[in-house]
Every structure is written in C-alpha cells, then in structure tokens.
Structure 1
Amino acid sequence: MRQPHKHKSRAERFRDSIKTYRVQADDTLLNYLLTMFKDQSRTSVKSLLTHRQVAVNNSPTTKYDVPVHIGDEIKINFLKGFKEFNHSRLRIVYEDEFVLVVDKGYGLLSVSTDRVKTKTAYRILSDYVKETDPSNRLFVLHRLDRDTSGLMMFAKKQGIQETMQRSWNEMVLDRRYVAVVEGQLEKEEGEVSSYLCENSAFEVYSTPDESEGGQYALTRYKVLQANKNFSLVELKLATGRKNQIRVHMKDLGHSIIGDRKYGSRCNPLGRLALHASRLRFVHPITRRDMFFETPIPASFQRLVREK
C-alpha cells in the first residue's frame, strides 16, 4: 500500500540542508574546511564561503582567514546561503546554540514595557532565532537601560538562563562600562558603595545601610581622560543593580551627561553617555573564557578632547 507523501515544513527542509560540525583543532576557516572535505576540490570548498553557506558559531562569514578554535561550531548550508542579520540598532557579536551576545544601540529597550511591546532587543532577536526554527526561544540574562548602548547577552535555552542566573557572580568575570560625566573627579580612581532602594516614582537612591531594605552595590571607577568640563570614566561593576552606575556617579557629584533623572545639567550628545564596553564570562557549556570588547564611542572621546 502506498504511503501518503508527507510534506515537510520550511523549517524542516531548512534543518535537513544544514550540517553541523565541531572544530577539533585550531586553524583558519578555509584550511579547516579543506581538511574536512578532502574529497572536494579547493574551488568547491571556497565556493561555500563565497556564497555565505558557512557559519562559525552561528555567524555567517565569507572570509577565508577567520580563526577557528577547538570547540567552535561550524554550520554548512548545502542548499543556499545563510541570511544575514541586519538591524540599525543591534549587531550580533557572537552566537552559538546556547548564548547570543549583541552590541545594542542607545534608544532601544532591552525588553518590553507596558507601553512598548515589539520594538525591543528581545523581540527583534526572538524573531531572528525563530527564522531558523519556529520552536527556538530566547531568554533574558541581564538588561541595559534604553539609553545605554553596548554589550549584552541572552540565553537560547531556559536551562542556560537558570544556570547563569543562579551562578551569576561566579560565571560573569568582568563587566565594564565607559561614561562621560560632568566635571573633573577629585581622585583618578576609586570606588563607590551603598545600599540601593527604589521609590514609588521608580527612582533608585542610595542608603548607608540595610535598614531600608536596599541591595548592596559596589562600583569601581578610573578616569581615562578629562578636560575642565567633562571626564571620560571607566566603570567596573562588582554588583549588577538597577541604575547602579547612574546613582553612584550622582553620589560622587559627577552625574553622567544626558542623565536628567540622576542630576545631569547638560546633554551635549543628545543621549545618555553610558556604554557597556566589556563583557567576560565563563561559557555555561564549554567552560571557555569568553571575552568581548567594543570601542569607546567616538562622540565620548571627542567631548573630552574639546577644551
């Protein structure tokens, strides 16, 4: 008896055309592909790269000399080229089957609010991961304020989210920001600590002890460059509380420019001058040391150069 033909969905056909390989030795991408496909001509292997059919850690590439390392994931779509993620406010820095690291532009919410549901980093990236498989999901690990730019990451499995949030202080090794603040700081480097509370107007403020139920917060800072009006400061989070950096800079008497909520009196850049520049964490599955860094925004540097 003839079996009825089962029509495969678009997602099923897409998965069938993609093969996944785990890198076994450090090399450059083309060299590694040539060792994988010894029975293929060099031209046919290079053609896969030329037509965007190769992705390293879920990032499509056409470059021959991309370094690959033991444990990296190579995906090859033997049917067609991978679609490139493209958004004016989001850039994918790293992706594998477990985590997604992005560089978020200022002015974009991390997650939805009562007023904004769709135009958020979470929703945009959720739609992106569902393009490959409608069952794919994204899970929030931490957030950046709407007007803060820079590095943030998401989990691609609920178990990864739970593992990282449960062991956040052990797994997240370094989170650093850069900010332009008003005036010149008295000390070139130092630290600020307090217990942070939030009032009914959603404004966070410092208290000296736990008596008001606040959460302990510690921020370390270092001045990178300054003129008589502004200072470019590097900030390292020892804790990750809501609005922590913004409140602690206000406590020092040097609010971040553009931060009217926390005492700023000027806004020469038309934005909050706060950028998440560095992220280092232990990969939840491979246990590799993952390190990412973005440049200091050019507008920040120009501001402290001007007299």
Structure 2
Amino acid sequence: MLQTQTQPNITIIYEDDHLLIIDKPAGVLSQEDHTGDADVLSLCKQYLSRSANNTPYLGLVHRLDRPVSGLMLLAKNRSAADSLSQQIRDRTLQKTYWTITSGSPPQNGVLTHHLSKDRDTNIVEVVQAGQRKAKEAILSFAKLEQNDELNLLSVHLQTGRPHQIRVQLAHEGYPIWGDYKYGKDQPDGRKMALRAVELVFNHPKTNQEIRFELAPPSQHPWTQFAIAHK
C-alpha cells in the first residue's frame, strides 16, 4: 500500500487530483501546534511536494484528535475544499467511528449535550445550554458487541465538536479505553481505542457518492471483539 515515506510514515488509502485520504496514525497531530511535533498536514504536503513543481495546496477538511487514528480526508485544491466543507456544514458528509468503552451503555442511543472548550487547558466540558460559547453536540451510537467489562460501539457524529465523542461518552459513564484526559485510566502508554472507520461523501468533482471503510488495528483491546476481526 502506498505510503508518504515520511517520519512518521502515513498510509494513503486513496488519492486523485482532488482528494487525499489517509489512515492517520494515533499520536500524530492533525495540524501544526505550539509543540512543533509532527502533524498530518505538514507530512502530507511533504509527500505531495516530491511530485510538484511548486508548493502544493492541501486543505484540512476536518480534524482528528491527536490520540485518534483512522480515516482522514484532505483536499488537494480549493474547489474540493469548498465542496467538502459545505458537505460538512450541511451534515451530508458522514463520519463513523468505532470505540471501546467501559461502563454499561444501552444497545443504542442518541446523546445531545452542550460543550464548552477551555482553550488554555484544551479541556472540553459539558455545560448548560445557553452558557456563553456553549455549542450543541449530537451523536448516535450502537453497541456492536460486549466482552466482559468492555463494549465495542459504533458512533456516528451529527456535529463535529472538539473532543466530542470522548466527552459525551465519558459524561454518560462510558469512558473510552485509554482516554487519560476524560476517562478513568491512568497513563500507561496504551493507545486510546477510538478510530475513524468510515467516510461517506459526494466526490467534489463528479458529485458521485463514495464510501471508504477501514478495519480496526490487530492489537489489544480490538482483538477482544469478534466483529472487529471477521
């Protein structure tokens, strides 16, 4: 499979003249920040620049939190970026995640909260509706499988708020395995069990609906669930 040949290396799921879809590694930033650590946007620009005569355009259509892995969509021109951003605003671009949680979630549910982000601490919390800077966050989930005290959930986002899945599930008592910020786990080096596994959207040039799916990694705790490794 094609890779960026960067450090760290990133697997390319799909590429054409308009789109670049990657499998973002856990622990890599989506976009450059104050840390100076490696980020997806810079690494993918580095990859594209090898076959370009000038600095390539690359638009960040959406972000994944640093600990989150999986499908990430980038635009290779402004027209594609505008089209995909509009689909996100219209909520026609569909993103599905798989995650492993503790607690006792029901078989399915819809969660609606209002979230507020503290930019100084980079922590998001659930607040009352109407509070200054509070933004509505909606997701739905279905429990695919249960194994001992862990649950494999499929999560579909209706809104795209920072840390949304992590905060909403933790608030309901279903913290994500390995989420040191919002869960109960103590830091021990494990990778957070949250992965973007499906993207559905209309191609910005052809307007045809396309779908990309990605399997979970073959590592603990994903290997505890039969459905994740059919």
The TM-score normalised by the length of structure 2 is 0.88
Q: Residue type of the partner of 1:198?
A: K
Q: For residue 262 of structure 1, give the secondary structure of its aligned residue in structure 2.
A: coil
What is aligned with 2:52? 133
Pairwise CA distance, 1:261:
0.8
C-alpha distance in 2, partners of 1:235/1:153? 18
Whether 1:231 aligns to 2:168 is no
- C-alpha distance 171-101 of structure 1, shift in aligned 2 (>3 A): farther
Query: Helix, strand or coil for the counterpart of 1:219?
Result: strand
1:190 aligned to which of 101, 109, 119: 109
Farther-moved stretch of structure 1 (280-289 vs 167-176): 167-176
Q: CA deviation at 1:287?
A: 0.4
Q: After superposition, what is the alpha-carbon deviation per residue over 1:5-31, rounded to whole angstroms, capped at 9, x for unaligned?
A: xxxxxxxxxxxxxxxxxxxxxxxxxxx
Question: Is the radius of gyration larger for structure 1 or structure 2?
Answer: 1
State whether residues 195 and 206 of structure 1, in contact with CA within 8 Å, keep that contact through their aligned partners in structure 2.
Answer: yes
1:257/1:268 contact within 8 Å kept: no
**Do the aligned partners of 2:94 and 2:199 also contact (CA within 8 Å) in 1?**
yes
- Indicate the residue corresponding to 1:287 in structure 2: 207
Matches within 5 A, 1:44-63: none
C-alpha separation in 2, matches of 1:189 and 1:266:
28
Q: 1:245 and 2:165 equivalent? A: yes
- Give me the identity figure in percent: 27
1:24 equivalent in structure 2? none
Q: Which amino acid aligns with 1:154?
A: L
User: Quick one: structure 1 residues 85 and 211, their matched pair in 2 at CA, closer, same or farther if it must change by over 3 Å?
Assistant: closer
* Partner of residue 33 from structure 2, selected from 113, 122, 133: 113
What letter matches 2:184 in structure 1? Answer: S
User: Could you tell me how far 1:291 is from its partner in structure 2?
Assistant: 0.4
Give how far 1:172 is off: 4.1
Provide the aligned length of Structure 1 versus Structure 2. 222
TM-score (norm 1): 0.67
Mapped pair 1:203 → 2:137: no
Structure 1 residues without counterparts, runs of 5 or longer: 1-58, 61-83
Q: Which amino acid aligns with 2:25?
A: G
Among residues 15, 28, 43, which one is paired with 1:124 in the alignment? 43
User: Structure 1 stretch 274-283 or stretch 169-178: which is displaced more?
Assistant: 169-178
Report SS of the residue matched to 1:132. coil
In structure 1, how many angstroms separate the alpha carbons of the residues matched to 2:211 and 2:156? 15
Pair 1:301 & 2:222 matched: yes
Cα deviation code 1:173-228 (max 9, x no counterpart): 3200011111332x110011111101241210112312333111101011111123
Give the aligned residue type for 1:99.
L
Return closer, same or farther for 1:301/1:228 CA change in 2, 3 Å cut-off: same
Find the counterpart in structure 2 of residue 68 from structure 1. none
* CA root-mean-square deviation: 2.2
Q: Note the 1:12-51 alignment, pairs <5 A.
A: none
- Which whole-Å deviations, capped at 9, do the CAs of 1:58-96 have from their partners, x for residues lacking one? x98xxxxxxxxxxxxxxxxxxxxxxx6445541111111
Query: Partners in 2 of 1:226 and 1:175 — Cα distance?
Result: 22
CA contact (8 A) 1:176 1:278 kept: yes
How far apart are residue 108 of structure 1 and its match? 1.2
Gap change, CA 1:91 and 1:173, over 3 Å in 2: same
3-state SS of paired residue (1:144): coil
Question: In the alignment, which residue of structure 2 is the partner of 1:17?
Answer: none
How many angstroms apart in 2 are the aligned matches of 1:172 and 1:215?
Answer: 19
Contact 1:182 1:264 in 2 (8 A): no
Residues of 2 paired with 1:282 and 1:204: CA distance? 31
Sort the Cα spacing of 1:235 and 1:267 in 2 relative to 1 into closer, same or farther, 3 A: farther
Query: How far does residue 269 in structure 1 lie from its aligned partner after superposition?
Result: 7.3
Distance (Å, rounded) in 1 between the aligned partners of 2:84 and 2:183? 34
C-alpha distance in 2, partners of 1:108/1:171? 26
Cα distance, 1:141 vs. partner?
A: 0.7
Does structure 2 conserve the Cα–Cα contact (< 8 Å) formed by 1:181 and 1:230?
yes
1:220 aligns with one of 117, 140, 155: 140
CA distance in 2, matches of 1:242, 1:197: 9
